[in-house]
Structure 1
Amino acid sequence: MLAFLLGAVLLLALVRMTHQIARAPHDRPLRAVTYCIVCASLSFPMGLRSVADNVDGMVGAGTAKLIQNILLLGTVYWLMCFYLQSASDPRTGRRRARIELIPLAITAVVITAATLATPRSERGHVYATANMQVASIAVFYLAAGTYLAYALAMALRWTLRYIQVSRGSLVVGLRLVAVSLACMVGADALRGVLVVVRAFDGTVPAAVITGVKLLLDLAIPLFVVGVIYPGAASRMASLRLRWRHQRTHRRLTPLWVALNQAFPENALHRAPSDGWRSRLTPQGLHHRYYRRVIECRDGLVRLSPYLAQLKEAGPVEHLPPGVIADHLNRALKAYTAGAQAPSGVVAIALPQGDDLDDDVCQLVLLSDALRASRPAD
């Protein structure tokens, strides 16, 4: 079950990062994260028994395990590169990334040599059942585990630094990453200790080995979730804003229709539109939303001289929307009939604050009251 969960999370992250890198191909930190996810995604199938058996059958025993571990080394290397590219200028970041290639290459060579030095009958091992008294097997796990712990510890240190200067959804994502990295560092360190104990013919309870594996199995998808969380949270916020604008646009329809019929020249026909594409994209929806708000407010400004009778009902800001809607209907009829506008103006649906949301809120209340006053429409 955990394997399928990890695979699904990695696939989702890979799709997300591929989309982002296509939009910003020259963003080095983003490329590093993308390569990190690619390496993790490629290593995942190598851990599946069916895939490993096929690869080992075609190339040789132990090949799938070697490839999986080299890809894991690449995963943490690119994770370090993300921080190196983010925390320094491009030239320094590239230089430090090249330096970090040295321990990566050494570790890859060591585990490859260890695999080749391992008898074929022992190459099909997994960590829980491997014979650590075979020197090459112990070297394999110690070398790979040491590099993983080093790279993950460096990434954890930088992650904790970034948490202090980040805000919003990015902080949540970084905290998830920090927790997962801490778990992985602890698990790798413990696995190294257990390798040494088993190499000297020590006994390790099976429950301890299973617990360490479970910790890693949970930490890896948690790390991927932390990486994609800020982008996913931003997308969710965008969807909520789109839904709110769509709902508000619909609720403004009664007011907009009434004012547009009276003042058709207020329509913003000069605004560019891509037809059906504009209707399907978020930008098109937001454009129609702001256009409707502006046209409603412009219509009320032009109609304001015909609302003089509202002064007789008391302070306009204290009148309920239903009363204002009744007067608005009368004012529209008077304007349509060509009646002379009284002197002075009366502003209605004035916002209580200074931002656009307050203005829209008053327009929506008036539009709702107008709909209620025209049940037959």
Structure 2
Amino acid sequence: MTEVILLGLAVAVVWKLYQWSRAPHDAPLRSVTLCLLSAALSYPLAMPGGASGVDTVAGHGTAKLMQNVLLLLTVYFLMCFYLYSADGQAGRLRARREALLVAAVALAITVAALSVPHDVFAGSFSTADMTIPQIAFFYGGAGLYLMYALGAAGRWTRRYARMSRRPHATGLWMAAIGLSAMAVACAVRAVFVAIRWSGGTVPQPLMAGVAFLLVVSILLFFVGVTYPGARARVTSARLWLRRRRDHRRLAPLWQLLAEAYPENVLRPASSGLWDRWRARGVHRRYHRRIVECRDGLVDVSPHLVDASEDIEVLALPPAVLADRLRRAVDTMGKGSLVPRPAVRLAVPEEDNREADVRQLIAVSDALRLSA
């Protein structure tokens, strides 16, 4: 699970860095990118292997200090995203004031950490000696700022969730609940610090429960911010698969009409192998094939009926129309007369693109079955 989260963070950071390189003046995008980058850099420092490696080189407690400073930066840049997105110039001014605050907190906990022996930081939050004022200030100060920033971000997220529609609203509500739960967990941990600093004890199951709440809230926030994008990607993938399938199903009709009217075949925008699998290439070929089939049906329509037949005969079932299409194409080059002007064929009852495509596919499937 740890490796999956770290891999997901790395992929998200690389993608946001790429987007930022294309829009370097986009302040909200810059904030999101720096937020993810700070989170990704802090995550390995929370792992035993990463922390021990840094501590071996720089001394005990260095990894913990770096991790907490990066967490402060993570929530600060998260706040900046909302400030730059909504408040305009006022948001920029407040972001500068918030930068002074986070810098002051980071400097204060750094001084507190450097003022005690390195081996004091060898333990974790649950085992640290909170009766040492510097240790209590280190954990309490960082926790209070995290509570403040996460609470503010959760409040702004709830505001956006009320103004949004699904699926974005669903993801925003999950993110808001996750942020609020993280803020509550940080507040409770600050209370634990105060109790332990004054000489009291906190039951281990209670501290484990708060730690579990923190993990669950982080996961809920992660799911919330990725839900709209993941759902959009799933929808896009389903559309991609359906249009590839429909493109293949239209092949019999397209081949018949392309042989009869090669001038209707549009020039492809790209013939590369990669274009056959890219979403843009698949959608482009799909729409081009529909246009080519429709143009071919208009051209072949005068050859389908005799002058003695009523125009209503063109409203034929797909199987009958497929048979007439094949016979018309076979006889076109044998001097057959064109008795009437062009008309639309395979017209669906519903006046929309999806119904039109279904009608064309029905005729193409009938051609395939009768081959």
Q: Could you state the TM-score of these two structures normalised by the residue count of structure 2?
A: 0.93
Structure 2 residue 80 is the aligned partner of structure 1 residue 42: no
Q: Secondary structure at the match of 1:248?
A: helix
Structure 2 residue 308 is the aligned partner of structure 1 residue 327: no
Query: Which consecutive unaligned segments of at least 5 residues does structure 1 have?
Result: none
1:324 Cα deviation from its structure 2 partner = 1.6
Between 250-259 and 306-315, report the one with greater CA deviation: 306-315
Distance in 2 separating the partners of 1:6 and 1:134 = 34
Distance in 2 separating the partners of 1:106 and 1:189 = 20
Q: Secondary structure at the match of 1:82?
A: helix
Structure 2 residue 361 is the aligned partner of structure 1 residue 364: yes
Query: Which consecutive unaligned segments of at least 5 residues does structure 2 have?
Result: none
Distance in 1 separating the partners of 2:164 and 2:282 = 31
1:223 Cα deviation from its structure 2 partner = 2.2
1:163 Cα deviation from its structure 2 partner = 0.7
Structure 2 residue 296 is the aligned partner of structure 1 residue 299: yes
Partner of 1:279: 276
Aligned equivalent of 1:340, options 325, 337, 340: 337
Instruction: Give the alignment of 1:106-145 within 5 angstroms.
Output: 106-145=104-143
Between 304-313 and 213-222, report the one with greater CA deviation: 304-313
Partner of 1:86: 85
Deviation per CA, 1:223-273, whole angstroms, max 9, x where unpaired? 23332333333333222222111111100000000011111111113x543
Distance change >3 Å, CA 18–CA 224, structure 1 → 2: farther
Deviation per CA, 1:43-97, whole angstroms, max 9, x where unpaired? 01111122212212221221110000000000000000000010022x3332221
Deviation per CA, 1:191-231, whole angstroms, max 9, x where unpaired? 01111111222221111111111121222233233323333
1:148 Cα deviation from its structure 2 partner = 0.2
Partner of 2:259: 261
Distance in 1 separating the partners of 2:61 and 2:4 = 25
Partner of 1:52: 51
Amino acid at match of 2:131: Q
1:277 Cα deviation from its structure 2 partner = 4.5
Deviation per CA, 1:116-147, whole angstroms, max 9, x where unpaired? 22333322121111111111111111100110
Is contact 1:83–1:158 with CA below 8 Å preserved after alignment? yes
1:20 Cα deviation from its structure 2 partner = 2.9
Percent identity reads: 46
Is contact 2:61–2:119 with CA below 8 Å preserved after alignment? no
1:344 Cα deviation from its structure 2 partner = 4.8
Distance in 2 separating the partners of 1:373 and 1:245 = 24
Is contact 1:308–1:346 with CA below 8 Å preserved after alignment? no
Partner of 2:144: 146
CA RMSD, Structure 1 to Structure 2 (Å): 2.1
Structure 2 residue 235 is the aligned partner of structure 1 residue 233: no
Distance in 1 separating the partners of 2:309 and 2:149 = 73
Distance in 2 separating the partners of 1:274 and 1:186 = 56
Distance in 2 separating the partners of 1:263 and 1:129 = 81
Is contact 1:9–1:224 with CA below 8 Å preserved after alignment? no
Amino acid at match of 2:363: L
Is contact 1:73–1:148 with CA below 8 Å preserved after alignment? yes
Distance in 1 separating the partners of 2:102 and 2:76 = 7
Partner of 1:4: 3
Partner of 2:182: 184
Q: For CA contacts below 8 A with separation 6 or more, give which structure has more relative contact order.
A: 1
Q: Could you state the TM-score of these two structures normalised by the residue count of structure 1?
A: 0.92
Distance change >3 Å, CA 311–CA 124, structure 1 → 2: farther
Amino acid at match of 2:87: S
Aligned equivalent of 1:155, options 153, 156, 171: 153
Count of aligned positions: 370
